[in-house]
Every structure is written in C-alpha cells, then in structure tokens.
Structure 1
C-alpha cells in the first residue's frame, strides 16, 4: 500500500515546516512527515526550507546569519493565509521529542550545498540516535554527497537521493550509493520508472503530488509513497481506492 507523506507537514492547509502543520498531518492520518533542516548561526538544527527567512516569515536575511533565539522571534506563519496561523520556526529536537510519541515515519531533507563540511549531517544523525529513531527516519537531500556521508555514519538509517531531472536508470544509481529509495519530482517520475524501480527493490516516493488524478495513478501502480502538501486529500483518494 502506498504511504502518504505530508510535505513540510500539511503545508497546503497550515504554514509549512511548523509544528501546527505537523500536528495537522497526524490528524489527517498521514503515514509520514517530510521536513527540511539547516543550521542556525549558533549551530542549532532548525526546520525551515529556504536559505533565507524572507518567503515564509516576517524577517529578512539568511538563516545562517540568525541565532536560534533570533529565529524563534520570527513568525513562521506570517505569509500563510494573511498570518491566520502564527507559529515559530521549530528545532529538529523539538519536533523529534513530539514525533517519538506518534506512529509516523519522517523524511528529513538536509538543506546543505557543501561537499566537505558535514556538520549538519553529523548533528542530525546524533539527534536521531539520541531519540532512538533510527528505524523511523529517512534522510534525503539534493546534495548526494550529504546522503552518502550520512550512510557512512549510520548505514542502518535509510537514505534517498532527491532529483528534479530525469536520471538514467535511477534504481542502479540508488544502489551504487547504497540508497534504499529515490525521491524524484513527480514530473520526472513516469509510471514505467516507478514500476521498474520498485521491482528492482528501490522504493519510489515522488514529490510534490497534489492533484487527485496523480495521487490515484501513483497509488494504483504501487509507488511506495506519495509526498503531498495535502495529506487529507491523499487519504481520501487512498480510502476510495
């Protein structure tokens, strides 16, 4: 059965990457949550997608130039539905302490561009192990150096490369970097690619699948999961099938 992952939480209905979006995902019976992490100026792991705070908060500037205290003074719900849902930028630790009590799985996307600085990977894996969540976490990134490094640090934690372009035989590529899954953008995840990958033992979780017809198609062909901004819609489609 295809699992439903809430993309940045239930980000179609609540401010993305906030605890209220994650609570909403659980309420909508998502099987998993996808979120994004990066480091603050003082080296704390915070949950936010962009390199800058401008798009989602009432602040301006790069995440890496703010301390955790400064980031948590911002309103992470400021630009969503005219600020209807005020929220703070959460830390990964805050999220994991809540998440541990749920039944869900979590896809942590590493927002890093470095091929030599692995501070983020080391800190994220340290926290996953602190909360004893190794078997409920998937680490993904567009930076494939970061996921290979993560695999070497903790080979038992599942990894998955993210990609936006068509890759030749991605299941072979995934195996070559010891990843157990691939997370392609839905536009580069045709039916055949998913069927072959799954048959070859590589799970496919396309993102960001928000249309009913696409959700239905991926569920019918047996993708391991869909990553959607609208977990409630995905659940409705799944229940109908």
Structure 2
C-alpha cells in the first residue's frame, strides 16, 4: 500500500531546477546529485512518457538539437528539430541519445559529460540511496507533467493515463508524501485532485490573468502557486497566503532577484543555480 501520510513542506523551499541546469546537463542523474550536494530541499524535474509506457525525465517532448546529440555523437540538423519524439520511441532507444556532451551556450558553466535521459525510477533510487548513505534530510520531488491539450496522443498520453503512469512509479518507490506534482496543464492537476487528493499540487503560471482567474480555471485550491518570477507582487503573495497557498516562483537565477523575492514573503525559489542559495 502506498504511504499516504503527508509531509510538511520546508519553511523556505530551495528547489534545484531540472536538478542544477546551470551547472550540469538538465534532468539527468548527475544534475540531481549535484543539487543534493548543494543542499536543496526539493529536486525539480520534468516527466515524459515513452512509447512503451516508461516514465522518464525530459523537458522537451523530443530530442533537442540545441543541447543533445545523436547516439553516435553527431549533431542533429536544425531540420531534425521535433523529429525524434519521445512518445514515439521506446525507452531503450531514447536512452542511447547523448544529452550532456554538447556545449550549451545558454548555460556556459554547465559541465559537459556523456549522459542520458533517465527513468524516473532510476532517479528516485539514486537519490534515496544518496540520502541514506550521507544521512541528509529527505528531499521533496517536484515533478512536472509536460503536457498540453494539443499534444495529447502525439507527445504524451491523455491526462489521466499520464498521471496514472506517473503515480504508479511514485507509489512503487513509496515516496508519495514527498512528491509535488506541478503543471501548466490544469487537466493533469484536476486528475490528481480527483484521484489522488492527498498528493501536493503546484499550478505553474506564466500568464497575467491573475491569481483569482487562474484558480477559477483550475477549479480547486492547490498546495502551491508557482508563477514566473517577474509577475510576483506583494499583493499576489498576500492573496495566495490568505487562501493557504504557498508561492514558489520560477526560474530565479540572480542573487539580487532571489533576495528581493524572499523579502516579499515567497515560500521558496526555483533556480538553475542552487549554488547561489547559501548566499541568500
């Protein structure tokens, strides 16, 4: 039986975006391990589903030519963008692509190494082993369902099937109390609220509709409201807190902005550079 006891979120949640994207290849095991070493309280990551129903980590729904390579190490042509769709490949094929050796100009500090898109189960096993070995506090897993209405059946399964596959891994690994499921797609959060009401949810937001309208569209009160950091205002934080909702903005990569947001009363931060957190 899955463990359904709730675990309280940290007083101030320091999240490593895609592990530690500014320092390691994103959504890889090395990125998660570095984030742990840097003392994050939550590992943020993105989930997709392969053709054979495996839950894996990836932000993009396909192999991205900007920072990923073909199995033999060759560059993908720009014309190949969108060609290698994860949902249309078995995981055994996906794993052969190199997602860490190519220089990524957006993140010049990122360490280059041969790496693959890991299974979520592999990440959980590695993280939990690290926690036991190093006797560090249990971290949370903030997992984004990468889905859109337009992508159903092309880039991912429909919301209920997506959520069920994700939760099956989470419950097999018995980490449900330490999981947050986040999404821009309200449909997956609505499925979670209906079928797995004890699971923490986070509504990702990049629009200017405002808290009231976004929550109306969601249809329930999430654990966390996670807006793009530039839209955070004192009034937003106050309004969310009045409803018992935590505010954790994304993706904050400058120390000055981190300090400004913390002074506004946000409940945590998501950053590509968790190495900056000790300076807060």
Provide TM-score, normalisation by structure 1. Answer: 0.91
* Partner Cα separation in structure 1 for residue 221 and residue 234 of structure 2: 23
Match of 1:180 in 2: 223
Residue 151 of structure 1 contacts residue 178 of structure 1 at CA under 8 Å; is this kept in 2? no
* Partner Cα separation in structure 2 for residue 43 and residue 193 of structure 1: 39
Match of 2:85 in 1: 62
Q: State the shift of 1:170 in Å.
A: 4.1
Match of 2:247 in 1: 204
In the TM superposition, what are the counterparts of 1:90-239 in structure 2 within 5 Å?
90-101=118-129, 102=131, 103-114=138-149, 116-170=158-212, 173=215, 176-237=219-280
Match of 2:117 in 1: 89
Report Cα offsets for 1:16-36 as digits up to 9, x if no partner: 000000000001001111100
Residue 101 of structure 2 contacts residue 113 of structure 2 at CA under 8 Å; is this kept in 1? yes
Q: State the shift of 1:81 in Å.
A: 5.1
Change (3 A) 1:172 1:198: farther
* Partner Cα separation in structure 2 for residue 172 and residue 17 of structure 1: 28
Report Cα offsets for 1:209-230 as digits up to 9, x if no partner: 1111110012223211100000
1:25 maps to 2:67: no
Partner SS, residue 100 of structure 1: helix
Q: What residue ranges of structure 1 are gaps of 5+ in the alignment? A: none
Residue 36 of structure 1 contacts residue 110 of structure 1 at CA under 8 Å; is this kept in 2? yes
Report Cα offsets for 1:12-59 as digits up to 9, x if no partner: 010100000000000100111110001111111110001121233203
Q: Which has the larger radius of gyration?
A: 2
Q: What residue ranges of structure 2 are gaps of 5+ in the alignment? A: 1-10, 71-79, 106-110, 132-137, 153-157
Partner SS, residue 112 of structure 1: coil
Change (3 A) 1:157 1:216: same
* Partner Cα separation in structure 2 for residue 117 and residue 147 of structure 1: 9
Q: State the shift of 1:119 in Å.
A: 1.6
Change (3 A) 1:180 1:117: closer
Greater shift in the superposed pair: 82-91 or 4-13: 82-91
Partner SS, residue 261 of structure 2: helix
Report Cα offsets for 1:66-106 as digits up to 9, x if no partner: 21111111111033459722111100111112233432111
1:34 maps to 2:44: yes
Residue 13 of structure 2 contacts residue 42 of structure 2 at CA under 8 Å; is this kept in 1? yes
RMSD: 2.1
Partner SS, residue 181 of structure 2: strand
Q: State the shift of 1:167 in Å.
A: 2.9
Partner SS, residue 124 of structure 2: helix
- Matched length: 237
Change (3 A) 1:172 1:165: closer
Partner SS, residue 113 of structure 2: coil
Report Cα offsets for 1:183-202 as digits up to 9, x if no partner: 11112222321233123310
Partner SS, residue 118 of structure 1: helix
Change (3 A) 1:231 1:13: same
